[in-house]
Amino acid sequence: MTITTSAYVAVPARAAELGSIIPAGLVFLPANFESAIPGEDFRFRGEASTVTKLLAVAGIPVNRLSTGQQRPAFIHNHSHDWTLPIIFVGTELLKQSPDILSAALGVIQDYVIDLFKGVTDARTITAEVVIEDRRAQQYKRLTYEGSPEGLRELTGAIKALSRKI
């Protein structure tokens, strides 16, 4: 299991560049958020649709970044592992609802464990969470790679990081 922290592009500025506005609440960013050129379709990881449903049932609304004009595309990798869509959470939301991310990750974790039950191979789950550090005017990306059971470690890392911002 590994969790790495890296710098991420300024999310609102980048969204504006692509003709979009960051909605309130938890937001799924497209996988090509950093590399897309204006007008290019947003490509979301295929798992985004399922995760949106699971979170909605759990009372955790989530929005996909959109320009309102394009039809989103979905990336489906026929691979062994399971990749979460990139989740962005702003400072305001973290302050108002500090447990929203851990609740969301808990819902996702339960689903993935259920999905993989009966399969005794080690399965890897990849998750990327982008957090806004408004004071430092920076954006940090936490990347998790490991077992579904270890996903709760990401929650701890997010909390530790959010205490500093």
Residue 98 C-beta: closest distance to other proteins, Å: 27
Please tell me the number of Cα atoms within 13 Å of 114 on its side-chain side.
7
The single residue among 3, 9, 10, 54 that binds other proteins, judged by CB under 8 A, is 54
Identify which of residues 78 and 163 has a Cβ nearer to other proteins in the complex: 78
Residues 6+ apart with CB under 8 A from 151: 105, 108, 109, 112, 125, 127, 144
Tokens of 51: 């995760």
CA dist 105 and 99 (Å) reads: 10
Given the complex with other proteins, which of 8 and 28 has the nearer CB atom? Answer: 28
Q: Which of residues 73-112 bind other proteins (CB under 8 A)?
A: 73-81, 111
Closest-CA residue to 82 (of 57, 47, 53): 47
Q: Which CB, 76 or 135, lies closer to other proteins? A: 76
The reply to whether 164 sits near other proteins by the rule CB under 8 A is: no
In the complex, the residues that contact other proteins under the rule CB under 8 A are: 43, 46, 49-50, 52-54, 71, 73-81, 111, 114-115, 117-121
